[in-house]
Amino acid sequence: MKPAVLIPGKKEAFANYQLAVEAAGGRAVFSGDAGDLAQCVGMLLPGGGDVMPWRYGQENTFSRDLDGERDSMEFAFLEQAVSAGKPVLAICRGMQVVNVFFGGTLCQDLPGHSRLSGGIDRLHYARTAPSFLTPLYGAAQIINSAHHQAAACLGNGLRAVQWAPDGTVEALEHTSMPIYAVQWHPERMRGPFATCGATAGDRLFRAFLNRCAQKK
């Protein structure tokens, strides 16, 4: 049976993530019960709306599309994954959840990183430090951008490993746990969404499944 990756939430909300996991050789399992993580090799935290600002000690100034129930669910899943030592791949909002979970903060509004008119992702260069990303992409990438928030102060145990030209943190990894996070959207840089010259998102999903296999 293909290795199962748990995605918190409902299947219909995250079709692109399911396709990306399956194309990489895995099986996406959707659930709202953190106990189901025990039957999976790892977890994927997907993109979405903003995290409740009170979780990182701020008043709401620019946050939108807030969903307290989703926050509670994903924080519970992440706590379970950390306790069990399960690998985690966090994407966009997922990276922000990871940063806040470990005690970090977020910039609530970041000009120049949201989608372009017509819902098209921006593309820009990013420089990458030696990390989980460098065997896949080297020291420089062209990545997509569709967010208006980003990591500010980093959480405990996290280190930045990739930056946009303006210094925005584009990827994080934990220094002692198998937790990997990107601010960009690899699920929209593969298959029918692939762009010539830009990063191949499939590589990241395959690498994550390989990490999951190593932790079994």
pLDDT tens-place string over residues 8-54: 999 999 999 999 999 999 999 999 999 999 999 999 999 999 999 99
Kindly state the tokens that stand for 88: 């985690």
Rounded to the nearest 5 percent, the helix, strand and coil shares of the chain are 35, 25, 40
Tell me the CA distances in angstroms from 212 to 26, 41, 88, 98, 193, one per residue in order.
10, 6, 9, 18, 25
Is residue 73 pLDDT above 70, yes or no? yes
Q: What percent of the chain has pLDDT over 90?
A: 90
pLDDT at residue 181, rounded to an integer? 98
Say which residues have a Cβ less than 8 Å from residue 161's Cβ, sequence separation at least 6: 128, 129, 130, 131, 132, 133, 171, 172, 173
Contact 44, 81 (CB under 8 A): no
pLDDT at residue 82, rounded to an integer? 97
The C-alpha angle 63, 47, 200, rounded to 5 degrees, equals 135
Is residue 120 pLDDT above 90, yes or no? no
Residues known to be catalytic = 92, 185, 187
> What rounded mean pLDDT belongs to the chain?
95
Contact 29, 40 (CB under 8 A): yes
